[in-house]
């Protein structure tokens, strides 16, 4: 075997292998944080990615070398039409299977007709009877989640079919407080500023842009072989040793690239605005006009325009001084 470098690091991370297509455009939030809030509220929200722009804001972080100066930052605009609460679900801990098990479900007596575009089997329930049963099982309940639906008809995109998913309720002093909160919001809308506020640090869960079936050069970033190589240049130099005569999963090969579920941690909400705050329309390329409240989020998020973006409070620790709101001096809208 010829000479080679001592160190040949792999191009591309194996952390996300196997790189398969996401099961759905409606990604599941697999974990929820614990927040210190006297009042119960949902631990997350959802919206649609409108696009990116930039802002200037005053840096007030006390340990920053640019404190007091004007900072340029790329931001993502996420339109967040209100979520409609269809009901709630209670869970208990099943220690045998190490999983959560639902023990009651409460469905609102009435909800908009566009919900049937997503689920024709979801019908208005007998809410009073279901609430009585839920109160009897409250001692066993450990987690309460809201069953919510997006309202894309109130956003700038030309879409009518909603997404239905669960949002966990946090805060409060007991499970009874969370139950009373969930009971009070069933059948009504929740606005984004009831959950998040400027300065909060959140996590973003979404599905990335799909790039289809790609070769190993684009997918893993390997080098092109010499022009004298046999048959092809855009391939790995070897698929593995003679013994064991098997191709390992670590070998960079062609396959699906993009359209993966990804989580971006610790993005800061710079501001929450409404189209009424501006004296002109707010169009976005490949999206449309903003019609509902929107979040100005520092940095980038996965996915193209119109992609569903789910948000939750940060799971990883964040310094308190990082949560202070900033003063935006200019928004390029």
Of the listed ranges 12-16, 130-134, 251-255, the least confidently predicted one is 12-16
Model confidence at 134: pLDDT above 70: yes
How many residues are there in the chain?
Answer: 333
DSSP state at residue 324? S
Q: Does domain 83-190 have CATH number 3.10.450.50?
A: no
Interval 164-201: pLDDT, tens = 999 999 999 899 999 999 999 999 999 999 999 999 99
Q: In sequence order, what E strands does the chain have?
A: 41-42, 44-58, 70-79, 83-94, 99-107, 143-149, 164-170, 189-190, 201-207, 210-214, 255-258, 261-273, 283-284, 288-289, 294-298, 308-313, 327-331
Mean pLDDT of the chain: 93
Name 76's bridge partners.
52, 297
Tell me which residue of 108, 100, 79, 111 sits closest to 31, measured CA to CA: 100
**Burial of 114 per CB tally in 10 Å (0-12, 13-18, 19+):** middle
| pLDDT for position 30 | 95
| pLDDT for position 6 | 67
Tell me which residue of 210, 86, 78 sits closest to 157, measured CA to CA: 78
| pLDDT for position 3 | 60
Strand, helix or coil for residue 105: strand
| pLDDT for position 22 | 96
| pLDDT for position 8 | 67
Residues 6+ apart with CB under 8 A from 313: 33, 35, 43, 44, 170, 200, 201, 202, 203
Domain ranges of the chain: 23-38+47-81+197-223+253-333, 83-190
Tell me which residue of 325, 197, 210, 314 sits closest to 264, measured CA to CA: 314
| pLDDT for position 309 | 98
Confidence band of 322 (pLDDT split at 50, 70, 90): confident
- pLDDT (mean) for 135-153: 95
Q: Residue-wise over 62-91: b if at least 16 C-beta within 10 A, else e?
A: eeeeeeeeebebebbbbbbbbbbbbbbbbb
Interval 6-53: pLDDT, tens = 676 666 788 888 999 999 999 999 999 999 999 999 999 999 999 999
Confidence band of 267 (pLDDT split at 50, 70, 90): very high
Q: Which CATH number fits domain 23-38+47-81+197-223+253-333: 2.130.10.30, 2.40.30.10, 3.40.47.10, 3.40.50.720?
A: 2.40.30.10
pLDDT above 90 coverage of the chain, percent: 78
| pLDDT for position 1 | 45
Confidence band of 246 (pLDDT split at 50, 70, 90): very high
How far separated are the first and last CA of the chain, in Å rounded? Answer: 60
Interval 78-88: pLDDT, tens = 999 999 999 99
């Amino acid at each position: 075997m010829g000479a080679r470098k001592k160190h040949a690091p792999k191009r591309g991370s194996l952390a996300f292998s196997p790189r398969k297509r996401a099961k759905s455009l409606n990604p599941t939030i697999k974990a929820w944080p614990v927040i210190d809030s006297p009042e119960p509220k949902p631990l997350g929200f959802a919206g649609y990615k409108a696009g990116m722009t930039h802002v200037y804001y005053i840096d007030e972080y006390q340990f920053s070398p640019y404190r007091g100066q004007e900072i340029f930052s790329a931001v993502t605009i996420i339109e967040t039409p209100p979520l409609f609460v269809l009901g709630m679900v209670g869970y208990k801990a099943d220690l045998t299977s190490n999983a959560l098990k639902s023990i009651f479900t409460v469905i609102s007596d009435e909800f908009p007709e566009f919900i049937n575009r997503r689920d024709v089997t979801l019908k208005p329930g007998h809410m009073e009877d279901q609430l009585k049963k839920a109160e009897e099982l409250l001692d066993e309940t450990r987690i309460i989640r809201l069953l919510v639906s997006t309202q894309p008809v109130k956003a700038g995109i030309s879409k009518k079919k909603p997404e239905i998913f669960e949002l966990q309720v946090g805060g409060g002093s007991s499970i009874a407080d969370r139950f009373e909160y969930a009971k009070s919001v069933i059948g009504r809308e929740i606005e984004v500023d009831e959950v998040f506020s400027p300065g909060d640090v959140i996590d973003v869960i979404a599905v990335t842009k799909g790039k289809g079936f790609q070769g190993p050069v684009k997918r893993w970033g390997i080098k092109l072989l010499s022009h004298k190589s046999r048959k092809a240049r855009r391939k790995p130099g070897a698929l593995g040793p003679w013994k064991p005569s098997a191709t390992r999963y670590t070998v960079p090969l062609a396959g699906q690239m993009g359209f993966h579920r990804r989580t971006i941690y610790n993005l800061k909400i710079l501001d929450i605005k409404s189209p009424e705050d501006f004296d002109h329309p707010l169009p976005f390329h490949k999206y449309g006009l903003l019609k509902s409240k929107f979040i100005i989020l520092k940095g980038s998020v996965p996915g193209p325009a119109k992609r569903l973006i789910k948000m939750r409070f940060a799971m990883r620790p964040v310094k308190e001084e990082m949560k202070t709101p900033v003063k935006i001096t200019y928004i390029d809208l």
